[in-house]
Amino acid sequence: LARVVDEMSADVYTFGLLTDFRGKLFPGSARLMELANERIELQVQARCWCNEPATHNARLADGVQIYDGDVVLIDDGQVAEVTYELRCRRHWISGEAGPVVDQLRVVG
């Protein structure tokens, strides 16, 4: 990719997640960061439940945050319910979940 950019004088823009649920860079993200001349982070207003900027992805198994496991998880229906939440660094480290909010029901 760097050779194409240099030889063709082309600009390349990428967008995606930098880190997995463990807080580790995805290999592709790491390589892009190594080769990039410039990095501009766009704020897409991702917020933790506490309203701080969400910088981490939390994987939850039956509502409990987990920090280890395979990066790629295929749901076979035999394990815990797995969900993901955006969290600020403080709440990703602590594993603290936000207040439980009742689901809204549309009537009418």
Residue 38: band (very low, low, confident or very high) from pLDDT cuts 50, 70, 90:
confident
Residue 27 has a pLDDT of 92
pLDDT tens-digit map of 56-106: 999 998 889 999 888 887 777 777 788 889 999 999 999 998 887 655 555
Query: Per CATH, is 2-94 categorized as 3.30.60.20?
Result: yes
Residue 70 has a pLDDT of 82
Instruction: Please report where in the chains the tokens 């897409």 appear, as a residue.
Output: 44
Q: Can you give the residue ranges of every domain in the chain?
A: 2-94
DSSP 22-86: TSPBPHHHHHHHHH-S---PPP---B-TTSSBP-EEEEEETTEEE--S-SS----SSS--EEEEE
The pTM score is 0.58
Residue 95 has a pLDDT of 93
Residue 56 has a pLDDT of 92
Alpha-carbon distance of 73 to 70, in angstroms, equals: 6
